[in-house]
Structure 1
Amino acid sequence: MPVDRESTDLEAYVKRSRSGPCFVCAFLAGSPDYPHATVFEDVDHVAFLDRWPTVPGKVLVAPKVHVEHVVRDLNEEAYSRLMLFVREIALAVEAVCEPERTYLYSLGSQQGNAHLHWHIAALPPGVPYPQQQFHALMTENGVLALPSDQAVSMAARLREAVIARGVLKEG
């Protein structure tokens, strides 16, 4: 089912990301100002739908503890567990969304959105090449207007795919 795109208020987004609380920590604390549809979580990590997705089924994955640097803040074991979690969520996204390509990337900065998080973005089949890669990921090109019932449904389907793989344990 097609989903409409809507423009984003980039100025408000930047202001919120730079002056507001950590969005991951606020979400995990249950702040009503930072709602997200949870896909799956274990003791150390959480996967949740992006509130401003640029492609269907876009998921963010983050450690539950506030970590800012993927390289220096995680020891080898913690890094490996996080990357296994990212991989399992990405495989669930692929199973549900059947993309042409799956993009994995980590953004953020000490100046905004500092909590380490990975983006899992499934490029739908048939997207013309000029609209792939960076173009498909940039909120400047609009975000999907996803009604909350569709977000809940997508999160449930992704969760079922994670559970069906049987690798991650809930916690």
Structure 2
Amino acid sequence: MDLERNVPFDVEAYEARVRSRPCFICAIVAGDPGYALEQIVHEDDRHLAFLARYPTMPGYVLVSPKRHVEHVVRDLDEDDYHAMMGVVRKVALAVEAVVPSERTYLLSLGSRQGNAHLHWHVAPLPPGTPYRKQQFHALMSENGTIPWSQAHAEELAARLRAALA
């Protein structure tokens, strides 16, 4: 499958936005209505999982702690780290149950310069993706994003919530 990633992504505008605005994850935790595309698919007392605003693959989900922490190793004690990874695994299994995937990429990205709030990416690689378009190429929005709308987000979120129930 050669996934159609025909929505251009303005990297410079994105960088300016994430470096000049308050934390987007804290805004989602607070219920900011400006983040409706980031449909929440899982929430417990300490964690949140939500759809990516700029998905490069169907089923792309971010998982984060609710409290603002920035470093995946230093800012979590062992129990918090294991709890976080338990949620990442649970969400990844639900994503794989709902979205066809050849492999699921799990990684923590972000920077103190932008998107500092710790989050894990759960990114399901569509089956049949040519090798040259896998791995980092598949994750990079610079290569385009998939067509995405509020209706797409709500439909996928409902299916993921059902799989997580």
Partner of 1:60 in structure 2?
62
Partner of 1:167 in structure 2?
none
Mind listing any 5+ residue stretches in structure 1 that lack a counterpart?
164-171
Mind listing any 5+ residue stretches in structure 2 that lack a counterpart?
none
The CA distance in 1 between the partners of 2:4 and 2:132, in whole Å, is: 20
Instruction: State the percentage of identical aligned residues.
Output: 59
Aligned-residue CA RMSD (Å): 1.2
Letter in 1 for 2:154: V
Partner of 2:18 in structure 1?
17
Contact 2:5 2:56 in 1 (8 A): no
Cα drift, residue 162 of structure 1: 1.1
Cα drift, residue 33 of structure 1: 2.9
Partner of 1:132 in structure 2?
134
Q: 1:4 to 1:128 in 2, by over 3 A?
A: closer
Q: Which runs of 4+ in 1 moved over 4 A?
A: none
Is 2:145 the partner of 1:143? yes
Q: How does 1:63-102 map to 2 (within 5 A)?
A: 63-102=65-104
Cα drift, residue 142 of structure 1: 0.4
Contact 2:62 2:122 in 1 (8 A): yes
What is the number of equivalent residue pairs in this alignment? 162
The worse-fitting range, judged by mean Cα deviation, of 30-39 and 108-117 is 30-39
3-state SS of the aligned residue for 2:34? coil
So what's the TM-score if we normalise by structure 2? 0.94
